[in-house]
């Protein structure tokens, strides 16, 4: 083997291997195993810390991110006020400001080791301003972040009338979505539960699935983001996926109504989702805060049935959804925070379940996005994150510092270890919150 450009020594891997070396040449992993022979141009001692593939967020809204307080703050913190706020903000958007906020968020993402993002972009605007802005952001960040765009008819592909906002506009909402795809948007989106009727929602799923099939594109629909157990558009999405032969290319996002459905119907629904090859994305930070707002007590958690979907063989990811926007005032692009919340909301505290939560922000969303060369194996891209933790469970517990982030074998971000200096008589001078080593 020719001399590697980079060698990381003494790292642990998410699959349980410990004290492993990883060799990199020309932006790819060329060796992985214990005590690899030879020297590299650059060597990093991992010190027994966890080397992870990059974090992946398969559900985000970058066109709204970091707009907190514009034009006002969401005082109630509810979904309905957030929707109203977005309606107030949209006419005020400029392409330059949108690009600036999105680029700032991508800086945050890189520092967090979040190197792949699928973002929905609102197509219910005859100007397609956000579409053009995020296509430019995608071009700019391509060297360090894989950015996928979803054509998302925020106000409903059948419900929204473009002439309402721009009198004289002759395009339909479906026409605008098609124009966004023509411009280079990657994925077909939808929001069937926001259409005027259940029948219109089902029709929107059919229209959009056929559009994706004609173009050979993936689908990612907001589905049933409601506490209404009768909102069952995921059933239609699974049917259309099977009918059109789109297995493995379709994702249903949110699916929160499943939390409120009766168990008998779910016992039919989950096998249908699994048979169709549809994946699922829950958004724990948002689902736990948005859903159940009409409840007194007991109050529903709102997140979809993650353990049951996983048990049926469905690929399940966790998304961040929002960061400092009309719907959510918090967040910082930390997918370990997302996994931490998902673990708690879904009560996934068993050892294997906690590792599945780590996979839900790494391997699973990478599979949903269809990322080429993702992972920690020979031949994969040399994209990885060195975490201040020894295993995935500890990484979630600590929301571990990203000691180093590499893209194609090049260091793009470094964070100092999280430590505290103590001044206590008879006690250690420093703590780092890592669990004591056994043995």
DSSP sequence for 291-345: TTTT--SS-------HHHHHHTT--EEE--B-SSSSS-S---S-HHHHHHHHHHH
CATH 3.20.20.140 matches 55-369: yes
Average pLDDT score over residue span 78-98: 90
pLDDT tens-digit series, residues 190-200:
999 999 999 99
Q: How far apart are CA 11 and CA 7, in angstroms?
A: 11
- pLDDT score for 20: 98
Residue 417, Cβ neighbours under 10 Å: how many? 13
Q: Is the pLDDT of residue 90 over 70?
A: yes
Over residues 201-221, mean pLDDT: 98
d(CA 432, CA 100): 35
Q: For residues 33-54, give the mean pLDDT.
A: 97
pLDDT of residue 87: 87
Please pick, among 225, 240, 363, 394, the residue that the annotation labels catalytic.
225
pLDDT in tens, 67-81: 999 999 999 988 889
Is the peptide bond between 298 and the residue preceding it cis, with omega within 30 degrees of 0?
yes
* Cα(352)–Cα(288) distance, integer angstroms: 23
Write down the pLDDT at residue 437: 73
Question: How far apart are the C-alpha atoms of 1 and 419, rounded to whole Å?
Answer: 39
Residue 439 has pLDDT above 70, yes or no: no
> Radius of gyration over alpha carbons of the chain, in Å?
22
Q: What is the pLDDT of residue 438?
A: 63
Please report the pLDDT score of residue 2 as a whole number.
Answer: 87
pLDDT of residue 1: 61
Q: DSSP secondary-structure letter at 436?
A: P
pLDDT tens figures, 372-416: 999 999 999 999 999 999 999 999 999 999 999 999 999 999 999
What number is the average pLDDT over the span 291-297? 94
In this structure, of 39-53, 66-80, 180-194, the range with the lowest mean pLDDT score is 66-80
Active site residue 225: yes
Mean pLDDT (the chain, rounded): 97
Tens digits of per-residue pLDDT, 238-270?
999 999 999 999 999 999 999 999 999 999 999
Tokens of 92: 């005020």
CATH of domain 6-53+375-425: 2.30.40.10
Residue range 118-161, pLDDT digits in tens: 999 999 999 999 999 999 999 999 999 999 999 999 999 999 99
The residue extents of the domains of the chain are 6-53+375-425, 55-369
To which residue do tokens 């707002």 refer?
293
Interval 217-241: pLDDT, tens = 999 999 999 999 999 999 999 999 9
Q: Return d(Cα 199, Cα 216) in angstroms, integer.
A: 26
84 pLDDT band, cuts 50/70/90, is confident
């Amino acid at each position: 083997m020719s001399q590697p450009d980079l060698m990381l020594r003494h790292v642990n891997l998410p699959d349980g291997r410990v004290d492993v070396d990883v060799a990199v040449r020309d932006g790819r992993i060329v060796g992985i195993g214990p005590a690899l022979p030879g020297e590299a141009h650059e060597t990093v001692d991992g010190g027994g810390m966890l080397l992870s593939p990059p974090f992946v967020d398969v559900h985000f809204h970058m066109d709204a991110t970091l707009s907190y307080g514009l034009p006002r703050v969401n005082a109630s913190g509810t979904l309905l006020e957030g929707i109203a706020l977005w309606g107030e903000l949209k006419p005020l958007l400029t392409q330059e400001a949108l690009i600036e906020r999105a680029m700032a968020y991508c800086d945050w993402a890189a520092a967090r080791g979040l190197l792949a993002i699928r973002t929905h972009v609102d197509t219910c605007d005859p100007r397609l301003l956000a579409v053009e802005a995020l296509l430019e952001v995608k071009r700019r960040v391509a060297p360090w972040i894989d950015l996928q765009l979803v054509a998302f008819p925020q106000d409903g592909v059948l419900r929204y009338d473009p002439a309402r906002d721009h009198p004289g506009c002759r395009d339909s909402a479906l026409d605008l979505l098609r124009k966004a795809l023509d411009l280079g948007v990657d994925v077909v989106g939808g929001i069937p539960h926001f259409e005027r009727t259940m029948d219109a929602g089902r029709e929107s799923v059919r229209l959009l699935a056929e559009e994706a099939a004609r173009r050979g594109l993936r689908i990612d629909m907001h589905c049933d983001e409601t506490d209404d157990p009768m909102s069952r558009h995921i059933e239609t999405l699974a049917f259309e996926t099977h009918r059109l032969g789109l297995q493995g290319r379709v994702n249903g996002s949110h699916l929160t109504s499943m939390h409120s459905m009766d168990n008998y119907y779910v016992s039919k629904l989950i096998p249908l989702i699994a048979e169709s090859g549809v994946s699922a994305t829950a958004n724990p930070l948002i689902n736990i805060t948005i859903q159940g707002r009409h409840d007194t007590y007991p109050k529903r958690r709102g997140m979809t049935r993650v353990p049951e979907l996983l048990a049926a063989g469905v690929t399940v990811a966790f998304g961040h959804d929002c960061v400092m926007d009309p719907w959510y005032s918090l967040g910082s692009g930390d997918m370990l925070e997302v996994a931490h919340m998902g673990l708690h909301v879904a009560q996934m505290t068993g050892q294997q379940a906690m590792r599945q939560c780590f996979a839900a922000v790494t391997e699973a969303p990478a599979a949903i996005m269809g990322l080429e060369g993702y992972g920690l194996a020979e031949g994969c891209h040399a994209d990885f994150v060195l975490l201040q933790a020894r295993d995935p469970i500890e990484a979630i517990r600590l929301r571990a510092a990203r000691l180093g982030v590499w893209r194609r074998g090049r260091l793009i971000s470094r964070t100092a270890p999280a430590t505290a200096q103590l001044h206590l008589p008879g006690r250690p001078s420093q703590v780092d919150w890592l669990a004591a080593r056994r043995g």
